[in-house]
Amino acid sequence: MDKKVKKKINFKDLAEAEDEKRKKAGLRKDQKIKAYLILDWMQKKTDENHVLDATEIAVEMERYGISAERRSVGRDIKAINAAVLLAHGEAIDIDEARELVEDGQ
């Protein structure tokens, strides 16, 4: 009879392996919530008279413990703008929304 050997799961090793996998893929911890935090922060801190640049936003994300670069913040803002167009715009698809954002409309 074959006996199945139960292997103990070391969750620390699994977490480290997941972190390593993210690093190889260029992902960092908590990156999925970064765009939501950027949107929230911009709604609270900006208006037509008070603007922030991507570097200032990246610094604020670091305060949340989320690594952000100026270029990634710019990409997140473009994604936020496309999502707003989809949610509040006319009947368009994601590709059209991205195109409008890229064209600056």
Local confidence pLDDT in tens for the 105 residues of the chain: 556 655 566 666 666 666 666 565 555 666 778 888 888 888 888 888 988 888 998 898 888 788 888 888 888 888 888 888 777 766 766 677 777 777 765
Does 6 reside within a domain? no
Torsion sign over Cα 56, 79, 96, 88:
negative
Burial of 105 (0-12, 13-18, 19+ CB in 10 A): exposed
Containing domain of residue 49, as a range? Answer: 29-102
Does 8 reside within a domain? no
Could you give the number of structural domains in the chain? 1
Does 46 reside within a domain? yes
The pTM score is 0.59
Does 62 reside within a domain? yes
Does 54 reside within a domain? yes
- Rounded Cα distance, 72 and 94, in Å: 19
